[in-house]
Amino acid sequence: MRYFLLCLVLVSTANANEDEYNFKMGNFGARLREDTWHVEAEKKFFNTMVTYRYADLKKEREHRIKFTNTLYKHGNFSLQGRTEYRSNKDHWRTRLIVNYKRPISKNLSVWVKLQPRYTTDNVYDSRHQLGIQYKAVSTFIEKGVFGVNFSPRFSLLP
């Protein structure tokens, strides 16, 4: 319960809002975020997830190829590495992704995702999120931004 209360306090102190909707069916997915959208196709080869993304980013379009590797996984903790090429910035970016998810009840969990990033243009930034998830709906804060992420998963197979 204390984790749930902590997330509520952190979410209530955020000052901006971002709505995001993710849809995934097999190896294909789509994401709508505010006035932007993108579609992705992904396929796993051995331990590497290869993803292509086409995005409409308000004033520009982006083609992105991502290579994500699971480096370590144990229980609710995972460590991944990702390298991606961003066409609109014309650079490569690499990141470390640290995930931890703690179930509170059958349908409720708290999670944290830490993502330090570094580009070939010598730019370092980070994307860190703290959130709570109830079934397929997750609310989170990221650098003071309050977000709501709705991620239904669809399957063509019964």
Per-residue pLDDT band for 122 (boundaries 50, 70, 90) equals confident
Per-residue pLDDT band for 134 (boundaries 50, 70, 90) equals confident
Q: Is the pLDDT of residue 108 over 80?
A: yes
Q: Is the pLDDT of residue 125 over 50?
A: yes
Domains in the chain: ranges and CATH: 2-154 (2.40.160)
Number of Cβ atoms within 10 Å of the Cβ of 82: 18
Q: Residue 9: which of 113, 150, 110 has the closest Cα?
A: 110
pLDDT in the model for residue 63 = 93
| Whole-number Cα distances in Å, 89 to 62, 92, 122 | 9, 9, 13
pLDDT in the model for residue 151 = 53
The predicted model scores a pTM of 0.74
| Whole-number Cα distances in Å, 158 to 53, 75, 155 | 27, 27, 7
